[in-house]
Amino acid sequence: MLADLAALVGVESPSADPAALARCAEVVADLGERLTGLAPQRVGPHLLWRYSARTEVLVLGHYDTVWPLGTLARWPFSVTEGVATGPGCFDMKAGLVQAFHALSTLDSLDGVAVLVTADEEIGSPGSRPLIEDTARGARAAFVLEASADGGALKTARKGTSIYHLEVQGLAAHAGLEPERGVNATIELAHQVLALSAIARPELGTTVTPSVASAGTTVNTVPAAARVSVDVRTSSLAEQRRVDEEIRSLCPVLPGALLRLDGGPNRPPLERSSSAALFELAQQVSATPLTEVAVGGASDGNFTAGVGVPTLDGLGAVGGGAHAEGEHVVVDRMPERAELLAALIRRVLT
């Protein structure tokens, strides 16, 4: 398993680099074929293994990472005192290694499908339909994203929505006749406050205006402004409420216009979708398990969104996702592979 992890981390795979993704896809494809005896179907940059005509269990992961080309040169894969490190090792290349090694221990893969995507880190814009179509009708989806602290499984994830709000004002000379203008920056300020007021922290709902820009020169009344908005919700009802309220925003300044793009990206993975599978995991695990709800989303949100029971965080035990020094506890890799294999056996019996 460690040799396979070294090989996979050794091929960089930033989401936005098609050539790098293609090189990494070959390594993932070879890994899956060597351990399970079947070559994947290529669906664009994504890899799909179907071991029978029907899909009862979907094993889900991704091979793209957030790290740009060249990271490996200054931060190569290494193992020190039982801890492996390197770009993408924790999120989530170790999870892929564990998945295929788990499958290699099963007597039969009838009813199993494995989908490894190439764009999860940028919101899965191309793979979402494939994920949903592959998952639909399955009895379980097991997501090999990295675990939470201490190896906790992720039984709930917030849904995500992303919006881009543009303000159109009217330019004018800031010194000679500012009254002739419609100040897009001021309008944007009104809208940012209105957006922030939509949040309901007591329900876990966050509405975060983030990247913003306005104006062109210091002596011109700004004619345009823009803000991006990140929304996280714990329930589908909250996601819908926030969407409705954002779409109902109106300009405050006379003459200002608003234009809104975006919307819900991933539905929430609510605990009701994972509860039965977490209970099953507790039954088959050789060690005690814990669970946690997290704010980050994954492709497991999509499988839960089409009604498939979903258990997430079955991948590596370690830490530091998306951060310099992300790492994997090597001794936990076989244990997690055994847990996945045991879950698949129980679901299929």
Residues marked active site are found at: 64, 120
Contact in structure between 53 and 2 (CB atoms under 8 Å): no
- Stretch (H or E) spanning 67: none
CA distance 121 to 177: 47
In Å, the largest CA–CA distance within the chain is: 81
Classified as helix, coil or strand, 78 is strand
Q: How far apart are CA 182 and CA 105, in angstroms?
A: 67
Rounded-to-integer distance, Cα 84 and Cα 40, Å: 28
> The tokens 């498939």 sit on which residue?
308
Quote the CA–CA distance of 280 and 16 in Å, as a whole number. Answer: 37
Tokens 């097991």 identify what position? 142
> Does residue 121 contact residue 39 with C-beta atoms inside 8 Å?
no
Task: With H, G, I as helix, E, B as strand and everything else as coil, classify residue 23.
Answer: helix
